[in-house]
Amino acid sequence: MKMVWKILGLCGLLLVAGCTTTSKHSRSLETNSPTPLNIAEKINHALFNKVAIPSGSELFSLPDEERTKFIAFQARARRLGVREDKIIFNYLEAKLDEFTYDGQTLTAQESLQENHGNCISLAILTESYAQLANVQTSFTEVSSIPIYQVQNGTVLVANHFKTKLLAPEETPKEKGWISFSKAGTVVDYFPEFDSVFIGNATRTDLITKFYANRSVDALLGEEYDLSYSYLLEALALSPNDAELLNLSALLHKRRGDLVTANTLFEFGFEQNVKSYNLLSNYITLLDPFEDAARIALVESEFEQASTTPIDWLLLAQDYVRKDQLNAAERLLSKVIDAVPYLPEPYIEQAKIHYLRGNLTRARELLATASKKTSQKHKLAIIQAKQTALLRLNVKE
């Protein structure tokens, strides 16, 4: 059976079982040590050569001609009384009228030159104009369809960043007045009615995701020195990020250093990292015979480490493969409660009923799954399964 490596990343590229976090509220490693341990210290640096990559400030750099155009637009809008956050939104809306979403993670200047990119690219571009206009921003991370895909044997999770341009603060009319939410304009270039909130994010998170995504891109392209260089920048900003630990281990594995890869996975397990991605990748390096006890111990932590609907779905799929159908059903119910619009949990439930010989219920679930997606390739797969069940109808 083909091995599937799981990685986690953001907005198109997160090596998973993306987006992306140890928990919904923290990206840091959970460790028993009183002092946080630096992942970079565990990397075999002699295995790689560092190459030049964009600096943090270069990500947000705009060409002089573009800066001049925006400042002129801003001046005209101000004379008309348009609020500062609305000025940026209106400018971007006109500027990106023909922008193409293609999953690439680009700097602000690259996005303008190539007129395409992903949500990280556009969040960076939005932040660039906000800096120029001295407008404050905040960020939100969500998951939206398609939540994940398989590319070259790697599961990629597509998480999504939204930017909120904050309106200028106004003086409260009464003393003691408290605001629980700041006024502003949400910039979301690819809105989905079915997005799932993951957590609030910061500018540092945005930059980290840029470098992590670029590292994943390079890893999939077998450009290991480039992947290493981007990874180091991400770790400089988030030295204890669980998914960056996962990425570090997978980079060493792909580079052929199984010893360091195992050391990194072992480090995560011993430090009680709550990451299903990392733990499920760890056991792929263990020998099923010599390390049987260790594998059982790691697998016993799977459910506790599964903190997102995608974790539950992938773990449920593992349970189905192992014929642990009751456990799979329990997790699939959680997935459907959290993200009822996904077709995958219904497909897995159909498999379970098929394995139990209940073909009628399996067909009903596939019919439900087909209503949950408009993606042609998913519909084709579901329809093929439905056809196969119809052929088996005489056996029911």
pLDDT of 83 higher than 80: yes
Q: Residue 91 pLDDT more than 50?
A: yes
- Choice among 47-56, 123-132, 152-161, 260-269 with the minimum mean pLDDT: 152-161
Q: Shortest CA distance to 278 belongs to which of 304, 252, 242, 310?
A: 242
Q: With a threshold of 0.85, does the pTM exceed it?
A: no
pLDDT band at 391, cuts 50/70/90? very low
Confidence at 388, pLDDT banded by 50, 70, 90: low
Q: How confident is the model at residue 142 (pLDDT cuts 50, 70, 90)?
A: low
pLDDT of residue 93: 85
pLDDT band at 193 (very low <50, low <70, confident <90, very high): very low
Q: How much of the chain, in percent, has pLDDT values that exceed 70?
A: 71
Residues pairing with 164 in the sheet: 138, 186
Average pLDDT over residues 132-155: 66
Q: What domains, with CATH codes, occur in the chain?
A: 5-299 (no CATH), 308-395 (1.25.40.10)
Please tell me the distance from the alpha carbon of residue 158 to that of residue 315, in angstroms, as a whole number.
18
pLDDT value at 376 more than 60 = no
- Residue 289: exposed, middle, or buried by beta-carbon count in 10 A (0-12, 13-18, 19+)? exposed
> For the segment 21-77, what is each residue's pLDDT rounded down to a tens digit?
222 223 344 444 444 658 999 999 999 999 999 999 999 999 999 999 999 999 999
pLDDT band with cut points at 50, 70 and 90 for residue 267: very high
Q: What is the mean pLDDT of residues 306-316?
A: 86
Cβ contact 205:234 at 8 Å: no
Region of 214 (left: φ > 0; alpha: ψ -120 to 50; beta: rest) is alpha
pLDDT at 135: 85
| Of the candidate ranges 177-186, 334-343, 349-358, the one whose mean pLDDT is the lowest | 177-186
